Amino acid sequence: MSELIKGIEEAEVLLPVASEQEVEVAVIPDSASTTDRLIMMAVQGGADLDKLERLIDLKNREEDRMAKTEYDKNFSLMQAEFTAVSRDKQGHEYKYAPIETLQKHFGPTIAKYCFSYKWKEENIENGGKRCTMTVSGHGHSEENWFDVPKLDGTKIMNPVQVAGAMSTYGRRYTFISGFGLIMEDEDDDGAGFDEGVKYASYIEIIDTTEDHKELYEKVAQFVKDLRAKGDNTGADIVKKYYVKRKEALG
């Protein structure tokens, strides 16, 4: 408020001094804001362009402050209605909620409070990808971003599929952090998520394979490839995913 008062005092100094033969001026509506009144008075008084530009800048700053206040108020009300989302997909020794589950669970509340979101992606060093989510509403917007490390491809997963997996992880992470979401049993999600990012290309294929024989052949190749790279940890993780997927298939 002190900044606004200071701006108004500054604006009043910019107003031209009325001449003795002041012409009749238009009536300023009661609904006009303080800065709108000052701008109208300046125009009617014949203020020069520089003074008008400074008054308009004051008006824009006031509107930005009001939009941020409205954004924060509605964002807080929206978060108060959020409920914990169930983790319905199995990861390595943990469960997580994929992006489609998050959107379905929280989407109606986000729309109710007139917020929207969108993503943009850009390549970063070392083959990674930066995923940025912008949340907009009530005349204001805010961004948050996450850098997804480069994922290794496989003989089965082509570069397009790898890029898709990176995008999925980036969007999931920024959605959770951007809206400040709460997750059920949120004690090891960070560690599990990081692991999931690193081995996403293998996990994706294992989770979508429906045939026992095909699953075994794919996992055997994955383990062989990882061992050849000296990544015994990755090979063990893939084998554990294989056991879980095998049990799920029955």
Phi first, then psi: what are they for 181, rounded to 5°?
-75, 155
Q: Do 61 and 143 fall within a single domain?
A: no
Q: Do 75 and 106 fall within a single domain?
A: no
Longest Cα–Cα distance of the chain, Å, equals: 97
- Of the residues 36, 65, 80, which one is the last residue of a structural domain? 80
When pLDDT is cut at 50, 70 and 90, the band that residue 70 belongs to is very high
Global confidence as pTM: 0.57
Secondary structure tally for the chain: helices H, strands E: 9, 5
Q: Do 51 and 147 fall within a single domain?
A: no
Is the pLDDT reported for residue 161 higher than 90? Answer: no
Among 181-185, 203-207, 213-217, the range scoring the smallest mean pLDDT is 181-185
Is the pLDDT reported for residue 8 higher than 80? Answer: no
d(CA 99, CA 171): 7
Q: Do 58 and 39 fall within a single domain?
A: yes
Is the pLDDT reported for residue 233 higher than 60? Answer: yes
Query: Is the CA virtual torsion 231, 234, 240, 243 positive or negative?
Result: negative
Q: Do 96 and 187 fall within a single domain?
A: yes
Q: Do 59 and 42 fall within a single domain?
A: yes
Q: How many domains does the chain contain in total?
A: 2
d(CA 117, CA 179): 10
Is the pLDDT reported for residue 19 higher than 80? Answer: no
Is the pLDDT reported for residue 238 higher than 60? Answer: yes
When pLDDT is cut at 50, 70 and 90, the band that residue 23 belongs to is very low
- Over residues 63-76, mean pLDDT: 92
Q: Do 134 and 245 fall within a single domain?
A: yes
- Over residues 115-122, mean pLDDT: 96
* Residue 183, strand partner residues: 85
Where in the sequence is the domain holding 51, given as residue range(s)? 2-80
CB-based contact 39:26 (threshold 8 Å)? no
Residues with Cβ < 8 Å from 161, sequence gap 6 or more? 201, 204
d(CA 32, CA 225): 70
